[in-house]
Amino acid sequence: MNLTLKIWRQRGPQDKGQMVEYKVTDISEHMSFLEMMDILNESLVEKDEEPIAFDHDCREGICGMCSLHINGEPHGPDRGITTCQLHMRTFKDGDTIYIEPWRAKAFPVIKDLIVDRNAFERIQQAGGYISVNTSGNTQDANAIPIPKLDADLSMDAAACIGCGACVASCKNSSAMLFVSAKVSQFALLPQGKVEAADRVRNMVAQMDAEGFGNCTNTGACEVECPKGISLDNIARMNREYLKASII
Amino acid sequence: MSGFLSSSIARKVAMALSALFLIIFLIIHLAVNLTSLFSADAFNEASHFMGTNPVIQFAMQPVLIFGVVFHFVMGFVLELRNKGARNVKYAKFNGAASSTWMSRNMVVSGAVILAFIVIHFLDFWIPELNTKYVLGDMSGVLPGEEGYRYFAELQHKFVPVWRVAAYVVAFVLLGLHLAHGFQSAFQSMGFNNKYTKCVKTLGVIYSVVIPLGFIIVALFHHFNH
């Protein structure tokens, strides 16, 4: 199939950047989206042009590195997948495809389609951990009884790969789905309850300091999340935060 | 505490609490309005009570005004800050793929409701304040006439087509605002349990019934004056 691509090009963080149009031909519907990007980049290199910079790593849908905003949606029009799992059969011959980086003040563009997602790292460092003595006499985790439902909900929250699609899809560029998943995965387990109050306070404070917007419960993040992280986590984070701040 | 109130979640919760307060107020307002469909006397009595009872006038009314002003100011402030969180816009943004129009345009429906409230205050509330507290006439009776004036004033206001049309448009937007806002307020406060489905259903019913009730009252008096 032949496609018209409108891709964001930006030489560096200080560059203003712009959408640039490219034509790609003879694209197989069996290709993944990133393979299509590879082919475009090969053709650019052959023409002595700068290839398009985009994030990717495992290409198996689990690392959270790929991050393209495709035709107005993070990770493209399919549900429950990352961009590397998106295939060209989703598109039709002759389509025009918009490819842009995640857009948020807290995710500044480094180059072309690559954004700096270290804001997520700093939020994690603010409290996304449990303090465990690992000196060699660590207690067996299975010795602590945990209700099956709590374990399942915690595991569901832990499925978050921190790709940032929630921020990209939110009209407010809010990071609350990500932060709530990280808060929830610990808050639901006995090991995480010990530091739950400090954790939620510190992580929310860091989230606010990074300049993410505020959640207005549109639910776009839940729909676009490649890992199906539920909005229930945001309600849980709100609860945890109120508990930690008032009681 | 000041740190708490400046946090994103605290602001969400403050929006939700003021919203729930206004949701309760709308029920009371509609209940009084609906009496006008069945009995002019009942509407007159209810209006006079609400307009002259000191607890309602001097305790509940200021709280209500504060709630309304707070909800609008906070809503617009949050919208501006949220807009600022995305300094470069997308060339293509397909919001409809993942969220409802209502949820993405609360500020639009909110602005229409604000415009309505301005008209509504000019129509009813400010003349009431003028009569009662500037002119000092707490009787609720027009000079030289018998019986309370409220029902006649209500009917008179809904004679012009433009006002009825403006009210109906505003109530439709109020319905859309509530369709997202009702369940959103509960989510913001962290309410999420086995009753969440009930809350969502209740929100849909509320967002249809309340605006529809106000529309019926406006239309009824337009066609029955």
Total structural domains in chain B? 1
- Examine the fold and report which residue of A75, A93, A111 is the final residue of a domain before the chain moves on: A111
- Nearest CA to CA, how far is A74 from chain B (Å)? 9
Q: Is residue B153 predicted with pLDDT exceeding 50?
A: yes
In-domain check, residue B89: no
Contact A84/A33 with Cβ under 8 angstroms?
A: yes
Q: What is the pLDDT, as a whole number, of residue A138?
A: 77
In-domain check, residue B109: yes
Q: What is the pLDDT, as a whole number, of residue A142?
A: 84
Q: Is residue B2 predicted with pLDDT exceeding 60?
A: no
Task: Give CA–CA dist B90/A244, Å, rounded.
Answer: 36
The residue segments making up the domain with residue B124 are 2-84+104-223
pLDDT per residue as tens digits for the range B49-95: 999 999 999 999 999 999 999 999 999 999 999 999 999 999 999 99
The answer for B 6-25 residues in CB contact with A (under 8 A) is 6-13
Query: Do A144 and A73 belong together in one domain?
Result: no
Percentage of chain A surpassing pLDDT 70?
A: 100
- Considering only alpha carbons, which residue of chain A is nearest residue B100? A218
Total structural domains in chain A? 2
In-domain check, residue B149: yes
CA distances in angstroms from A4 to A54, A69, A85, A99, listed in the order given: 18, 16, 21, 11
Phi, psi (deg, nearest 5) at residue B177: -60, -45
CA distances in angstroms from A142 to A145, A191, A192, A243, A247, listed in the order given: 7, 12, 15, 28, 31
Residues of B in contact with A104 (CB under 8 A): 85-86
- Examine the fold and report which residue of A111, A135, A154 is the final residue of a domain before the chain moves on: A111
Of B89, B98, B104, the CB nearest to A224: B98
pLDDT band per the 50, 70, 90 thresholds, residue A116: very high
Read off the CATH number of the domain in which A139 is found. Answer: 1.10.1060.10
Residues of A in contact with B90 (CB under 8 A): 69, 72, 100, 103
Residues of A in contact with B103 (CB under 8 A): 216-219
Contact A27/A3 with Cβ under 8 angstroms?
A: yes
Read off the CATH number of the domain in which A74 is found. Answer: 3.10.20.30
The C-alpha torsion from A124 through A128 and A131 to A132, rounded to 10°, is -100
Task: Give CA–CA dist A212/B85, Å, rounded.
Answer: 6
3-state secondary structure of A114: strand
Of A72, A219, A239, the CB nearest to B103: A219
- Considering only alpha carbons, which residue of chain B is nearest residue A102? B90
pLDDT band per the 50, 70, 90 thresholds, residue B194: confident
Query: Do A31 and A65 belong together in one domain?
Result: yes
Q: Is residue B4 predicted with pLDDT exceeding 60?
A: no
How many interchain CB pairs under 8 A, A with B? Answer: 138
Residues of B in contact with A19 (CB under 8 A): 91
Of A216, A231, A245, the CB nearest to B106: A216
Q: What mean pLDDT is predicted for residues A43-69? A: 96
Query: Do A107 and A122 belong together in one domain?
Result: no
In-domain check, residue B97: no
Q: What mean pLDDT is predicted for residues A188-204? A: 95
The residue segments making up the domain with residue A63 are 3-111
Q: What is the pLDDT, as a whole number, of residue A166?
A: 98
**Interface predicted TM-score of the whole assembly (ipTM), two decimals:** 0.92
